Structure 1
Amino acid sequence: MTRPTSATAQPAIVLNHVSKWFNKRSTRSFKETFINWVKREPVRSQQFQALKDVSFSIAEGESVAVMGLNGSGKSTTLKMVSGVMQPDGGEVLTRGRVAGLIEVGAGFHPDLTGRENVFLNAAILGMSEKETKDRFDEIVEFSGIGEFIDQEVKHYSSGMFMRLAFSVAIHVELDVLLVDEVLSVGDAPFRAKCNAKLKEMAQEGITMMIVSHSAGQVKELCTRGIVIRKGEVIFDGAIDAALEVLEQK
């Protein structure tokens, strides 16, 4: 696969005026809760707006970092793109097959072995059984957990979860890869191996949207940064400038 030129690239990800709210229940004592129950008064909840009219697009073959402090809305944005969450306002559009590393071990069943979970997770990501069989050895080799592949994953460490989840995702025939902080898990050699693979995928023209706190990582992988603060996009531009904005209070 070759990277599309600026003249031919189509949008791979589009967010049009996206908003998202969450209910935030207030903490009540047992006495207050009991009185409300006796009076048949509903439990009040406050709404928290996690995303406020967010709009941007990412072109095919582009690698973009989405950055912000904890609670800024960056991970919520990624979950919207992955389809894990739906917007309360606006729309999210994607082109092609999307694979996401949103949470370590997401989609893994604890009572199944690593081998069984490779096939399960690959199917969730849209791979056929034949595709998975053809790439199974590569997946296991990259993960580096071959001796544990037939062990139930409930006995895996978080690092082993991440290795296997990442390995499955990068061996999918995908057009868009979403990555949310999972590469902060694991030892330094494996993180370097993951970053090298992501660079290779970027050169092959895979569209990437990466949420990371690591300035070094995003500078290596991305040319563009989107900074979100309190649910709003406050900057969208060159990665070095985005990192400067991120450091501002």
Structure 2
Amino acid sequence: MNITTAKPIEHPASSKAVGWTAVLLAWVCGSMLACSSATPIAEDQTHQPSPPETPREIYPGVILDRVNRHVDVQATVVGREVDWLELLACRPGIRDYESIVAVDAEATQLQTALILLGLEPGQPARAEKDANGELQFFAPHGPELELFFVLEDQPDQPIPANQWVIDQENGQVMPGNRWVFTGSTIIEFKGQNHFMAETNGTVVSLLNFGDELVSRPTTDSQDGGTELWTANTPVIPAVGTKLKLRFQPAE
């Protein structure tokens, strides 16, 4: 199946969501083949204990650590003074103006890494009409994650991601560092399949757009309700700072 990356597009009424389990399976299997060793084990080594697995760079800038149960992705600070913050993390050049960091890896690569960690994506927030024609809102769901920023000069001091986000109204740090692996969606448009977290840059969202890879576990509707976020400027490094964004299953 051909997955196309493009500039942000609207979800046209004529476009239809397509099943994408097979697509993800293909990505995962391909990654497993790329990551695994094909070296045969000699007969006299079959009873030897396996060495502990070390973190592996399964894609450029994407580190899978099965032992410590997390995925690190290379990222860059793109916003310190963001008045209207809608994303924690985006793809470069798409929604930098409303994000704190941009991740180097493609959204599909990050998706695959989380699946290889043993997580099964859920579903972003959505609205559907019921049998009576009433619009019903369904909150985002999926495995819970904790997110951290890991600075290059402080690798052993991961910073909870919510510490870099504050409430516009009261200036308080965003409560809780809980997120959900929603897994985005694929939209068929003009004969091409678009993985929308990549196409629209919605990697980690503070609001509900319906296409984000990772979301806050909010029950608010698409416009985010009354929650208005801004960047916690004093604690965020300079724009251009390289760091890692860590995705870790919540305890």
Quickly name the TM-score band, shorter chain normalised. under 0.3
The structure where helix makes up a greater share of residues is 1
State the TM-score, normalized to the length of structure 2: 0.24
State the TM-score, normalized to the length of structure 1: 0.25
Larger Rg: 1
